[in-house]
């Protein structure tokens, strides 16, 4: 558990917008040192200027989290400037929809690169630094928060590539939590599973690699994009509220962080299907009109 945040160092990926930026703002208000990481230079520059103005120490780095060499350089920079971080928020993520067989290999590589490899690099590089700091100082406390999604606990149709990436993050983080418990009482972990919250996730294509930008979207991908835009933009829970939930969870050493606890009914239903060896339930049971419309669009009816 981390009770005192003042003077502690936080590394935040995806810090130029959404949850990453809101967590950085809370960190600044608590007097933390901030390492801001994003792939989008203009957003990163704006965030750096805003947080510098608060008077806390800020280091900003443009990094593609899917890149081993760029993440290794970031970790070395953090170590040189601040020593081991106390808080690592592996938050950078991209969204992608469409029928699962219609995603190109490049699509898979992009989404899994950011959403899964980005978290893997964050965990494999910063955890050893944090454990070494814990060994050297009995007072040290560290916490890693990985951003997954409710899509990491459910399997909504027409967004399979995203589901796969977020299920991987949930599994990775649950295992990280258990592995940490084997070796230390001073470093812990949480997984953030937001539902639809207004952030930049539905506009991830703004940071698509150049070789993907020219790919023509399929009908299912266009439909998925439109549904995602609508759901995300109409979300009632704000990114700032979710960021506060993250800090509350760190303080309480709470593993699962949900923005919409009511959505857990769907998770329970899915788990019951698994345990009872039942076929997956209709995902549109509560909103049948959405399923009817989606099927009609995809079948050309």
- For 41-98, the pLDDT digits (tens) are 999 999 999 999 999 999 999 999 999 999 999 999 999 999 999 999 999 999 888 9
How would residue 125 be classed by pLDDT, with cut points 50, 70 and 90?
A: very high
Mean pLDDT of 190-215: 66
Distance set, CA 10 to CA 59, 101, 249, 266, 301 (Å): 10, 39, 15, 33, 51
DSSP string, the chain: -----TT-EEEEETTTSHHHHHHHHHHHHTT-EEEEEES-HHHHHHHHHHHHTTTS-EEEEE--TT-HHHHHHHHHHHHHHHSS-SEEEE-------B-GGG--HHHHHHHHIIIIIHHHHHHHHHHHHHHHHHHH-TT--EEEEEE--GGGT---TTBHHHHHHHHHHHHHHHHHHHHHHHH-SSEEEEEEE--S-SSSGGGGGGG--HHHHTSPPPHHHHHHHHHHHHHHHT-SS-HHHHHHHHHHHHHHT-SEEES-GGGHHHHHHHHHHHHTTPPPPPTTSS-HHHHHHHHHHHHT-
Q: How far apart are CA 7 and CA 27, in angstroms?
A: 10
Q: Is 206 or 182 the better-scoring residue by pLDDT?
A: 182
| Predicted pLDDT at 204 | 46
Would you say the C-alpha torsion 281, 284, 288, 293 has a positive or negative sign? Answer: negative
The predicted-structure confidence for 104-118, as pLDDT tens digits, reads as follows 999 999 999 999 999
Hey, what are 77's tokens? 């920079």
Which of 204-208, 234-238, 248-252 shows the lowest mean pLDDT across its residues? 204-208
Computed over every residue of the chain, the mean pLDDT equals 90
Which active-site residues does the annotation give? Answer: 162
Mean pLDDT of 269-275: 96
Q: How far apart are CA 133 and CA 137, in angstroms?
A: 6
Q: Is 134 or 261 the better-scoring residue by pLDDT?
A: 134
Q: Domains in the chain and their CATH numbers?
A: 9-263 (3.40.50.720)
Question: Which residues are within 8 A (CB) of 253 and not within 5 positions of it... i.e. 6 or more apart?
Answer: 1, 143, 188
């Amino acid at each position: 558990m981390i009770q005192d945040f003042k003077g502690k160092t936080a590394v935040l990926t995806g810090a130029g917008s959404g949850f990453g930026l809101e967590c950085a703002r809370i960190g600044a208000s608590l007097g933390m040192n901030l390492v801001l990481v994003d792939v989008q230079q203009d957003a990163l520059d704006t965030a750096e200027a805003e947080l510098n103005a608060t008077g806390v120490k800020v280091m900003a780095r443009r990094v593609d989290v899917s890149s081993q060499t760029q993440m290794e350089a970031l970790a070395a920079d953090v170590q040189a400037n601040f020593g081991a971080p106390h808080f690592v928020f592996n938050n950078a993520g991209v969204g992608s929809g469409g029928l699962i067989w219609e995603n190109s290999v490049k699509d898979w590589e992009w989404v899994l690169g950011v959403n899964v490899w980005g978290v893997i690099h964050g965990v494999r590089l910063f955890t050893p630094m944090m454990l070494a700091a814990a060994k050297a100082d009995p007072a040290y406390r560290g916490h890693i928060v990985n951003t997954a999604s409710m899509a990491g606990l459910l399997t909504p149709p027409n967004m399979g590539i995203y589901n796969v990436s977020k299920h991987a993050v949930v599994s990775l983080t649950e295992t990280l939590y258990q592995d940490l418990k084997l070796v230390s009482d001073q470093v812990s972990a949480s997984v953030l599973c937001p539902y639809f919250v207004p952030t930049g996730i539905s506009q991830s294509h703004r940071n698509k690699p150049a070789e993907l930008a020219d790919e023509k979207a399929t009908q299912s991908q266009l439909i998925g994009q439109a549904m995602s835009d609508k759901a995300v933009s109409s979300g009632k829970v704000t990114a700032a509220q979710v960021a506060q939930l993250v800090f509350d969870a760190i303080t309480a050493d709470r593993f699962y962080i949900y923005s919409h606890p009511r959505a857990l009914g769907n998770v329970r239903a899915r788990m019951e299907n698994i345990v009872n060896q039942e076929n997956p339930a209709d995902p549109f049971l509560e909103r049948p009109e959405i399923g009817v419309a989606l099927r009609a669009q995809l079948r050309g009816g």
